[in-house]
């Protein structure tokens, strides 16, 4: 997922990893170290926190060696370096030493921006390591993990994994590795469900899926499991709202349109169009309006407008499931 600019050579004199996603920052370091040790197994690696890099330390670490050894010097949280040490680093950037790769990890932002600008001006190889706050970014990350491993996973499986694991990239990466190690062939949603039973069933989107399908008992069971495992009530109301809105969007879309065209028009991936199309059987326009009102009431209840968030969610789930049958006559 990390994006690279300027040069793709991990043995460039300077690599600048920018962002706050710890897994991607660590991978940027690991890539440089692996390349250096492939070139020289005896490469010396120094991994330093800001307080370990005092004025004069970088000059010591990068001074010529009698044995001309290759060295990788990693500086973490470079935005927190002292002003004097930043001067040292900037001075080094003007004349980097041979056989030495300097890796600066910087959070980005205003703090330490002078060093960031100096590194870029010096022609640093840059690796972007942004915090992945959006579900779509995490979904793209999971897909890229499977591609990097050389295995295929269905879109539904990738989504199920994100729903089950959540926002921790390390856990998502670990889950991709585990699944590909244990399972042959294409990884599908059923496989993810078997491996992550409980976590997957406790996700807010599972509650929403069962509710918009009109399966009230299963939705309530999933709701109780979700709440019992610590899923935030506001995430459940959000998933319910998203599920009902998707029904409404697709119901008002032109009939006969292809999934790809609908995906672009409605802002949904094609596989989700197919899923929502199955879920919308039994819905009516009045049912969508009724469900949205129920979810809005629950959302207000879980955000402090009611005494019992759990009861507010149960009412919403039942109302949505009932609305899913409103068009069946």
Residue-wise pLDDT for 158-205, tens only, equals 988 887 777 788 889 988 998 999 899 999 988 888 887 656 555 788
Nearest to 272 by CA among 184, 205, 176, 201: 205
Nearest to 125 by CA among 193, 58, 28, 196: 28
Give mean pLDDT, residues 293-298.
93
Residue 197 pLDDT:
63
Contact 306, 312 (CB under 8 A): yes
Residue 11 pLDDT:
93
Contact 130, 40 (CB under 8 A): no
The proportion of the chain whose per-residue pLDDT surpasses 70, expressed as a percent, equals 89
User: Which of 17-31, 154-168, 301-315 has the largest mean confidence?
Assistant: 17-31
Measure Cα distances from 154 to 140, 142, 159 in Å: 12, 11, 9
Instruction: Tell me the CATH number for domain 204-324.
Output: 1.20.272.10
For residue 80, what are the contacts with CB-CB under 8 A and spacing of at least 6?
50, 111, 112
Superfamily of domain 14-129: P-loop containing nucleotide triphosphate hydrolases (3.40.50.300)
CB atoms inside a 10 Å sphere around CB 37? 14
Residue 240 pLDDT:
93
User: Which of 77-86, 215-224, 306-315 has the largest mean confidence?
Assistant: 77-86
Biggest CA pair distance of the chain: 87
Long-range CB contacts (< 8 A, 24+ apart) of 132-137? 132/1, 132/21, 132/167, 132/169, 133/167, 135/162
Backbone CA torsion sign across 207, 211, 215, 220: positive
Q: What average pLDDT does the chain have?
A: 87
Residue 260 pLDDT:
67
- 328: enclosing H helix or E strand: none
Give mean pLDDT, residues 18-35.
94
- Residue 266 pLDDT level (bands cut at 50, 70, 90): confident
- Residue 1 pLDDT level (bands cut at 50, 70, 90): very low
Contact 104, 17 (CB under 8 A): yes
- For residue range 30-85, list pLDDT tens digits in order: 999 999 999 999 999 999 989 899 999 999 998 876 566 789 999 999 999 999 99
Domain spans in the chain, listed from the N-terminal domain onward: 14-129, 135-196, 204-324
Residue 128 pLDDT:
94
Measure Cα distances from 109 to 76, 194, 200 in Å: 15, 42, 36
Instruction: Tell me the CATH number for domain 135-196.
Output: 1.10.8
Cα separation, 116 vs 105, whole angstroms: 10
Measure Cα distances from 156 to 150, 163, 217, 226 in Å: 18, 10, 23, 20
The residue assigned the tokens 């992945």 is: 132
What end-to-end distance do the CA atoms of the chain give, in Å?
49
Find the Cα–Cα–Cα–Cα dihedral 25, 31, 32, 33, rounded to 10°.
100
Return the axis-axis angle of helices 83-94 and 113-121, rounded to nearest 10°.
0
């Amino acid at each position: 997922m990390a994006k690279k600019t300027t040069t793709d050579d991990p043995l460039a004199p300077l690599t600048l990893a920018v962002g706050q996603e710890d897994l991607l920052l660590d991978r940027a370091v690991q890539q440089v170290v692996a390349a250096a040790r492939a070139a020289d197994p005896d490469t010396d690696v120094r991994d330093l926190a800001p307080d370990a890099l005092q004025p004069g330390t970088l000059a010591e670490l990068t001074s010529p060696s009698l044995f001309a050894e290759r060295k990788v010097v990693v500086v973490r949280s470079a935005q927190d370096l002292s002003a004097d040490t930043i001067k040292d680093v900037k001075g080094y950037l003007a004349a980097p030493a041979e056989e030495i790769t300097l890796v600066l990890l910087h959070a980005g932002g205003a703090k330490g921006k002078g060093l960031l600008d100096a590194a870029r001006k010096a022609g640093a190889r840059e690796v972007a390591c942004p915090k992945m706050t959006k579900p779509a970014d995490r979904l793209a990350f999971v897909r890229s993990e499977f591609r990097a491993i050389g295995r295929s996973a269905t879109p539904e499986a990738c989504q199920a994994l994100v729903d089950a694991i959540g926002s921790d990239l390390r856990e998502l990466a670990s889950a991709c590795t585990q699944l590909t190690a244990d399972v042959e062939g294409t990884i599908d949603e059923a496989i993810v469900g078997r491996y992550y039973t409980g976590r997957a069933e406790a996700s807010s989107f599972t509650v929403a899926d069962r509710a918009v399908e009109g399966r009230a008992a299963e939705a309530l069971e999933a709701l109780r499991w979700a709440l019992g495992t610590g899923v935030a009530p506001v995430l459940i109301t959000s998933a319910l709202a998203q599920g009902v809105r998707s029904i409404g969007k697709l119901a008002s879309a032109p009939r006969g349109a292809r999934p790809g065209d609908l995906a672009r028009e409605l802002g949904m991936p094609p596989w989700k169009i197919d899923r929502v199309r199955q879920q919308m059987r039994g819905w009516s326009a009045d049912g969508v309006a009724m469900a949205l009102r129920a979810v809005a009431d629950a959302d207000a209840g879980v955000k402090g407008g009611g005494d019992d968030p759990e009861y507010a969610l149960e009412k919403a789930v039942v109302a949505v499931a009932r609305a899913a049958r409103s068009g069946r006559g």
